[in-house]
Amino acid sequence: MELKRVVVTGLGALTPVGNTVSETWNNLVNGVSGAGPITHFDASQFKTQFACEVKNFNASDFIDRKEARKMDLYTQYAVVAAKEAVTDSGLDVEKEDLNRIGVIFGVGIGGMSTFEEETGNYALHKDMGPRYNPFFIPKMIADICAGQISIMYGFHGPNYVTSSACASSSNAIADAFNLIRLGKANAIVTGGAEAAIFPCGVGGFNAMHALSTRNDAPQKASRPFSASRDGFVMAEGAGCLILEELEHAKARGAKIYAEVAGVGMSADAHHLTASHPEGLGAKLVMTNALEDAEMKPEDIDYINVHGTSTPVGDISECKAIKALFGDHAYKLNISSTKSMTGHLLGAAGAVEALACVLSVKNDIVPPTINHEEGDNDENIDYNLNFTFNKAQKRVVNAALSNTFGFGGHNACVIVKKYAE
Active site members? 166, 306, 343
Sign of CA dihedral 221, 225, 228, 229: positive
**In degrees, to the nearest 5, what angle opens at C-alpha 58 toward C-alphas 55 and 61?**
130
Pick from 196, 195, 177: which is nearest to 14 by CA?
195
Phi/psi at 77 (5° precision): -60, -45
| H or E stretch covering 318 | helix 313-325
What is the distance between the alpha carbons of residues 420 and 412, in angstroms, rounded to a whole number? 24
Distance of CA 397 to the CA centre of its chain: 21
Provide the CB-side half-sphere exposure for 270 (13 A, CA). Answer: 20
Could you list the beta-strand ranges (E) of 346-417: 364-365, 392-393, 398-405, 409-416
Instruction: Yes or no: say if 210 and 232 are a contact pair by the CB < 8 Å rule.
Output: yes
Which residues, including other chains, have CB under 8 Å from residue 270's CB and lie 6 or more apart?
276, 280, 281, 408
> Do strands 159-162 and 187-194 pair parallel, antiparallel, or not at all (unpaired)?
unpaired
- Three-state DSSP class for residue 48: coil
Kindly write down the DSSP assignment for every residue of 194-263, as one continuous string: E---SHHHHHHHHHTT-B---TT-GGGT--TT-TT--SB-BB-EEEEEEEEEHHHHHHTT----EEEEEE
Which residues, including other chains, have CB under 8 Å from residue 218's CB and lie 6 or more apart?
33, 35, 36, 37, 50, 233
